Structure 1
Amino acid sequence: MFVGGYTGPPCPPNADCVIPKHTTASDGAAYNIDSGTWQPIADAPRPVAAYSSTAVIDDTLYVLTNDHVLAWDAEQDTWTELDPPTKPQGVNLVADTHAGRSRLVLAAGSDENGIRADQVYDPVDDTWSQLPANPLRPSFDRALISTSSGLVLTAKPIGPDGGPEDPALVHAAVLPAGASTWRPVPSSGDQLGGWTWTWTGRRLIDPTPGGADGGQVNNFGRTIPYGGALDPATGEWQSLKDAPREFTGGWAVEALGGRHNAVQGWIYDDGDGGQGSSWTRLAQPDGAPAEPGRAVWVGDVVIVSGGADWGGPDKPAERTPENVWSTGTWAYRAE
């Protein structure tokens, strides 16, 4: 299901554009991959900004847009709006589906502007609570991921001076289902990323290609990868086999899907917990725009909706939705 998005004049990448008012959509449509057909859905009660955080629990899609949490019931095709106890600023939506009873977590992305409790919503009881205080605070680049070992927090610590560790490696802690205290993972991973975690059913992976060595001024003495893996049951950090250099892939689709993931123009298959893993360069389909639109995995199929092509008119005033944006849809099945 795709909903909302920007409908105003095209603004090229890296450009500084004035965004007109009333250019965010609230309509949406569901795509059936078996029949290849679209079906419109009810309009959202508020405009849904492009690249809003989302989470799915059972038949309900949750969307965070402009500090408002919306819920779409797929069976009834109806929208409601949640009322969190605190304004959901700077948070991401996380579906915690391994806690015995599914719940929605509003997870703060950073403690840099003060420590805030992560809010938890129980859809069955329609009640709010808070996650227990975690041992990694204060931290930044925070991510919460639901796994069979419990809720996993990954983050990079903020030191007493207010600055990050150097290098800022990823640390982790686990909150088992039903527990009231976090279990720290004893060591950090040799990993600089931790931005795009996904649970494969066997381990956590961040499939971000590339790495950094700190440059000439603050060289680390080695290139530390952005991506990596973590087994939350054992606390073992692992590297990703044969990870490519960053930005060397093909059609730059971005979508996390568990075992299969699209990142920087690559399809990463984690195989059997890392055994038999592979990277496949994703080719741009005929007729598809150079810049792919939003994408989502449905099983082993990734669906890409729309996109942009900036190879047309040179003058910004001549760029229109008709000659920049695509309304096509493409599907790729991982082998």
Structure 2
Amino acid sequence: MKPRARWVAAAGVALLAAGCGETAAGPGAGGSPTGNDGGSWRPVAESPLSPREAPLTVTVGDRILVMGGSDGPPCPPNADCVAPPPPLHDGAAYDPAADSWTPIADAPEPVGGGVDTSVVVGDTVYVSTVIFNLEGGRTSTTFQSYDAAADTWAELTPPDESEWRYLTVAGDRIVAYRGSHEDYTGGTLEPLDPLPADLVYDAAADTWAELPADPLGPSYDRRLIGTDGGAVLLASDLVPNPGVDPPVVHAATLDLAAGTWTELPDGDVVSGYGFSRVGDLLVSALEESSDGGEVNNWGRGIPYGGILDPATGTWSTLPERAPRDPLDGFMIPVGNLTGERTIVSGAWALDVPTLTWSRVPDSPDDEHVQGQSAAFIDTSAGGQVMLWGGSRWPGWLEDPESMGDGELIADGWIWTVPAPPG
């Protein structure tokens, strides 16, 4: 029998996308204090890198690595454009304590900046990049590693020919998994047949092996989150008519050493896609809820965010936070950022142990900027968020029809997340 879900209310005081990463500036732009007790952005030292969009930003130890990205012509906001040229190979390491940069060795293959396409094991970054061939219209996938201690790269064997793979670390092993079992080739939501296996990497042999099949069956919004001893899978049933019934997020834990799965209670959240690991918990700090709309109304609002303790199978609601108009304020691009105790998502940072919120300061740029990359690092000064790169579009905020040409930028900014009370 499937275990029954246990829910607890999270007590707290409310204070407060690799892709284009679209953002909008708000009041208090230009690095000035925002007035929301969240502090402000400060510029970082000039980088040795050229202007670019969507580089890979990843934290290794006390440095933030900025690698690859695109220096092709930027695509205007809300426009459809041809695929950019292959990503760049160069990179640099930023030291927040010294506010200084150090160039790093060039990668043998291009480095893209997609969400969940890189992981860190010790001092080594593993990165998978999908490269679009402009002439043949085909894609290829590279897999390579960067040893930050030795400043060396290695070309590795990609998981398979599929481009639909995300990376996570289960224990100390890299796992490549699919975000959905949908078969996109037929124009339907039918599941792939057979279901593709998730894969685990043997770094010593440079080979991939299949993980045991999970117990959740055909799924979409699959999110595999690594833990010390394995991983937790969150997923929603792949059904012919999604949205008719209230969503249910199924969960299961993988014991990597034993090769076994154990189902956990279901979660009463819209999707597991926004969850990330913070300490021993899995957290999604997404705002708002959904009631299914007018046609298939579910009779109640179901939240997008929540907290799961995989050790006990207990799901919790997020603490309350101040209401916010979706167009009000700056939102962190490129998914979630996490640290030892913090998750930053959209316009909010949540200190998980104390369940207290901070608002992300307004944009440090007076103009519309998209294609920024972001990273989180724990420092002696506290948790810090770094923004870097992107493209600036003068005039778009005032009048999109008469905006100027976009320009690639190499600007970087740091925000120190406010310390929790007490």
Q: Deviations over 1:258-317 (max 9, x none)?
A: 4212222222221x2xxx312222113544654361111111111111233323376799
Alignment match, 1:216: 294
Specify whether residues 162 and 218 from structure 1 end up closer, same or farther in structure 2 by C-alpha distance, changes over 3 A only: closer
Q: Deviations over 1:217-237 (max 9, x none)?
A: 010111111111111111111
TM-score (ref. length: structure 2)? 0.70
Specify whether residues 85 and 191 from structure 1 end up closer, same or farther in structure 2 by C-alpha distance, changes over 3 A only: closer
Alignment match, 1:202: 280
Alignment match, 2:338: 257
Residue of 172, 177, 193 corresponding to 1:107: 177
Q: Deviations over 1:55-99 (max 9, x none)?
A: 111111111111221211112222222214622420101122xx3
Separation of aligned partners in 2, 1:317 and 1:19: 22
Separation of aligned partners in 1, 2:231 and 2:281: 13
Specify whether residues 166 and 204 from structure 1 end up closer, same or farther in structure 2 by C-alpha distance, changes over 3 A only: same
2:198 pairs with 1:118? yes
Alignment match, 1:181: 260
Q: Deviations over 1:125-155 (max 9, x none)?
A: 4342221111001111111111246310000
Alignment match, 1:142: 222
Q: Return 5+ residue gaps in structure 1 as ranges.
A: none
How far is the alpha carbon of 1:246 from its aligned partner? 7.0
Residue of 157, 175, 187 corresponding to 2:237: 157
Separation of aligned partners in 2, 1:227 and 1:34: 33
Mapping for residues 36-55 of structure 1, pairs under 5 Å:
36-51=99-114, 53-55=117-119
Specify whether residues 201 and 312 from structure 1 end up closer, same or farther in structure 2 by C-alpha distance, changes over 3 A only: same
SS at match of 1:5: coil
Residue of 68, 71, 87 corresponding to 2:145: 71
Q: Which amino acid aligns with 1:264?
A: G
Separation of aligned partners in 1, 2:219 and 2:243: 8
2:128 pairs with 1:128? no
SS at match of 2:125: strand
Q: Assess if the C-alpha contact under 8 Å between 1:147 and 1:201 holds in 2.
A: no
2:108 pairs with 1:30? no
How far is the alpha carbon of 1:51 from its aligned partner? 2.4
How far is the alpha carbon of 1:242 from its aligned partner? 0.8
Q: Assess if the C-alpha contact under 8 Å between 1:289 and 1:307 holds in 2.
A: no
Alignment match, 1:241: 319
Mapping for residues 87-106 of structure 1, pairs under 5 Å:
87-96=161-170, 99=171, 102-106=172-176
Q: Assess if the C-alpha contact under 8 Å between 1:170 and 1:192 holds in 2.
A: yes
Q: Assess if the C-alpha contact under 8 Å between 2:394 and 2:403 holds in 1.
A: no
Q: Which amino acid aligns with 2:405?
A: R
Q: Return 5+ residue gaps in structure 2 as ranges.
A: 1-64, 131-140, 184-191
Q: What is the percent sequence identity of the aligned residues?
A: 39
Specify whether residues 127 and 164 from structure 1 end up closer, same or farther in structure 2 by C-alpha distance, changes over 3 A only: farther
Residue of 360, 376, 381 corresponding to 1:297: 376
Alignment match, 1:12: 76
Q: Assess if the C-alpha contact under 8 Å between 1:207 and 1:263 holds in 2.
A: yes
Separation of aligned partners in 1, 2:373 and 2:364: 18
Separation of aligned partners in 1, 2:91 and 2:168: 22
SS at match of 1:7: coil
Q: Assess if the C-alpha contact under 8 Å between 1:302 and 1:332 holds in 2.
A: yes
Separation of aligned partners in 2, 1:207 and 1:253: 12
Q: Assess if the C-alpha contact under 8 Å between 2:364 and 2:413 holds in 1.
A: no
Specify whether residues 268 and 288 from structure 1 end up closer, same or farther in structure 2 by C-alpha distance, changes over 3 A only: farther
Q: Deviations over 1:191-214 (max 9, x none)?
A: 002212211113110111111111
Q: Which amino acid aligns with 2:67?
A: V
